[in-house]
Structure 1
Amino acid sequence: MADSTDSSMSRKAKDITAGFVGGAVQVLIGQPFDLVKVRLQTGQFNTPLEAFRKTLASEGPLAFYKGTASPLIGVGVCVSVQFYAFHEARRFLLSRNNSSQLTYPQYYLAGAVAGIANSPVTGPVEQLRILLQTQKSTDKLYDGPRDAVKKIYHSEGVRGIFRGQAITLLREAHSYGLWFLSFEYFIKQLQSHYNITRADIPAWKVAVCGALAGEVLWLGAYPLDVIKSQVQSDKFGKDAQYKGALDAMKQTFKARGLAGFWRGLVPTLLRATPCSAGTFLSVELTMRLLG
């Protein structure tokens, strides 16, 4: 594993490259799960099985990769930013420590910095994906990501492109704080238990650590994601159902109680296992390969 205090341009480039590889793997694994999750969160279906069956019957198998072009590039960029920002924050904190290791609260802080740095990219990318995923083939408003950007910008301006940015930033900070913290915790437990270096941890165990970190992320941040999906899937202008994230939260609680903030959790957790495992494994292996 590379020196965690190395701040050279070469090291930064490797952090970015590894993150992009991880992001691309994440999208290819998780897109079908994500479509089911978003359609459940926005009330189109009542169960994951119903969402899967009806989507497949009415729109065919390619429907599960609706809106993939945008996140394939966007998420690759997002995860690059996440890992770059995480390692930059980690190096900054290490430079002020008397220890060669971060404390667990510092890992959370470095992860939160990664989420905050990532949120300006995540917000627009996820809104485009959600709008494309939630529209029905019989009532299409957008023909693709580019068309969606043009129409939103024409009617709402830049503010429309970045709709839901506050709740996105809050979700990103908390969720990625949990994600990086939990992954590093599981990795360090393996190192301590087997008395080995990080580079000696087998790939399958890295994947298991990544999978567990994905579960921690979503269990800790899912209600924020539900609210974000509702805001970003809403109509614009006078047809909008919500006045903002706080109003979406109030309406959800009034209509469905606390259970409303956990709609779509099952497919999300199912998605998180392979996606998070694949992301951390591909990043870790890329970092080992690049040195």
Structure 2
Amino acid sequence: MSRMSFSLLASDAGARRGRLDFPRGEIQTPAFMPVGTYGSVKAMTPRDLHASGAQIILGNTFHLFLRPGLEVIAAHGGLHRFTGWNGPILTDSGGFQVFSLAHRRKISEQGVTFASPVNGSKVFLGARSALAHQGNDAALFGIVQGGTYPALRSRSAAELMQIGFDGYAVGGLAVGEPEAERNAMLEHTCPQLPADKPRYLMGVGRPEDIVEAVARGIDMFDCVMPTRNARNGHFFTRFGTVRIRNARYEHDLAPIDPQCTCYACASGFSRSYLRHLDRCNEILGSILGTIHNLHYYQELMAQIRAAIEAGRFAAFREDFYQRRSGVV
């Protein structure tokens, strides 16, 4: 089998329903990828991830290169054996992390030299070395940049397509820009990308943002939001967000979402109990919250896929907003 293939199965206006095929399995799209920066999705075992419906996870080349190092990962036979996750893994190059080290980096045409945030040692990361670290046989996505400037987005997309990639990512849009500007850039960029290649919006993860990006032709997403928010007592539901630190939940015997089928909700763990765990800094609170949030995200993606298949994405989108505007 080739390293990756993409099939467009259905479309509904701008929304796309597809399938990615990898040697390690298939991914139904639109898809959400939980983030495992250091080779671990926080508070989750691989079994928990599979139970949530996750099809693929994301790792970070920059952080794994620094810790534990490529030699340690290679000694295990690769990242899959090192982490215990047997499904597909997307690894990013670490460019965003290097960009954030403004006071520690020196940029040249060849790449970036920077001081390691772990031990201060001098490290070089270039396009060729980043690719080598991730494996030369991996499917490769080109990243369309250009901020909120349409002309730069068009130029970036055109030059990347001249090179030719297995898929195309849209970067630089999860950095605090207004929602309207982000949506405008997606509306401008996505029609210029090949229809037979997957499109990945990097780092955007609010449920509302995912729905809007799907409407504009995006197939893949990643974000730390469901896991990070869970550790901070913010739980997603189809009716809105439960902020468990609110005093109103102190005596609330209901689960996070009575209609949810995740382990945390189906087992009957109450909002009152989860609030208690959060106040006591008990790790179980983070585990249960993360299980729930990732389940919510995967259910959302499944509902989106079903709506596109049925040609009713517009109706789903309207219903989604009506539900999310309620009080939990």
Alignment TM-score > 0.5, same fold: no
Higher relative contact order (CA 8 A, sep 6+): 1
| Structure ID, larger Rg | 2
> TM-score scaled by structure 2?
0.23
TM-score of the aligned structures, taking structure 1 as reference length: 0.25
Task: Select the structure that is richer in helix.
Answer: 1
